[in-house]
Structure 1
C-alpha cells in the first residue's frame, strides 16, 4: 500500500518553515500531497492560484510532491485520495497543544489516520505566515523567510 501523507494548510504565503517540514518528511512517505485549503467565508490574503503557483515552484524538482486544493474537512479529503497520514509542523508548545487536539479529533473521525509531527528547526521557529503577511502589508521584505524559488515573485 502506498504511504500518502497530506500536508494541509492555507500557505498564505508558503514559508521556509513549510518547505523545511516537507523536505525533511519526504523520505518517510511515497507521496506528499500539499493540500491548500479553501474557505469561501475566509478568502486568503494572497490569491489561491498564486499560492499554488508558489508551492509548485518551491517543489518543482520533487516527483513525490503533489499540490492540490480542497474545500471542507481535511479528513474527508484524505478519504477521497486514500491518504492515511497527515503531516504537521510544530513550532512551539502552543502549536503542539493545538495540533494535538486536531489530531485527536481527526482520529475520532477516521480511525485509520495517523498524524506525523515534524518539529521546526530552531532557526525557522519564529516564522509564520501570519507574521509574514503583516510584514508584507507594511512594505517590509519577506524574502529571508520564504523559499528561494519564489524570491523573484516579491
Structure 2
C-alpha cells in the first residue's frame, strides 16, 4: 500500500518552514500532496493560482510531490486522494491547541485519518507566512525566510523584496 500524505495550507507565500517540512516528509511518504486551500476567509495576499505556481516552481525537483488546490473539507479531499495522513507543522506551543482541534475534527469526519505533526528546524521555527507578508508589505528583506523561487516569482510580479 502506497503511503500518501497531504500537507494542507494556504502557503501565502511558501516559507522556508513549509519547505523544511516538505523536504523531510518526502523521506517518510511515497507521495505527498501539497493541498493549497482557497480559504478566502484569510484574505490571502496572493491568488490561489499564484500560490500554486510558486509551489510548482519551488518543488519542481521533488518527484513524489504533487501540488493541488482544494475548496472542500480536508477530510473529504484526503479520502478522494487515498491519503490517510495529514501533515501539519508546529512552530510553538501556541500552534498546538488549534492543530489538535483540527486533527480531531478531521478524524471525526474521516476515521481513517491520522495527523502527523512535524516541527520545523530551529532556524525556521519563527517563520510564518504572516510574518513574511508583513515584511513584504514594508518592502523588507524576505530572502532569508522563503525559498529562492518565491523571491524570483514575487519580483517578476512587481513586488519589492530582497
TM-score by length of 1: 0.94
- In the aligned structure 1, how far is the partner of 2:125 from the partner of 2:118? 12
Residues 5 and 126 from structure 1, CA distance in 2 versus in 1: closer, same or farther, beyond 3 angstroms?
same
Consecutive unaligned residues of structure 2, counting only runs of 5 or more, are 156-162
Consecutive unaligned residues of structure 1, counting only runs of 5 or more, are none
Q: Which has the higher contact order (CA 8 A, sep 6+)?
A: 1
Partner of 1:61: 61
Residues 136 and 6 from structure 1, CA distance in 2 versus in 1: closer, same or farther, beyond 3 angstroms?
same
* Cα shift readout 1:28-83 (whole Å, capped 9, x = no counterpart): 11100000011355542111111111111111011100000000211111011111
Given the alignment of the two structures, is residue 126 of structure 1 paired with residue 130 of structure 2, yes or no?
Answer: no
Aligned pairs for 1:61-100 within 5 A: 61-100=61-100
Aligned pairs for 1:95-114 within 5 A: 95-114=95-114
Root mean square deviation of aligned Cα: 1.3
Aligned pair count reads 154
- In the aligned structure 2, how far is the partner of 1:93 from the partner of 1:147? 25
Partner of 1:145: 145
3-state SS, counterpart of residue 118 of structure 2: strand
- In the aligned structure 1, how far is the partner of 2:87 from the partner of 2:28? 10
3-state SS, counterpart of residue 144 of structure 2: helix
Residues 74 and 150 from structure 1, CA distance in 2 versus in 1: closer, same or farther, beyond 3 angstroms?
same
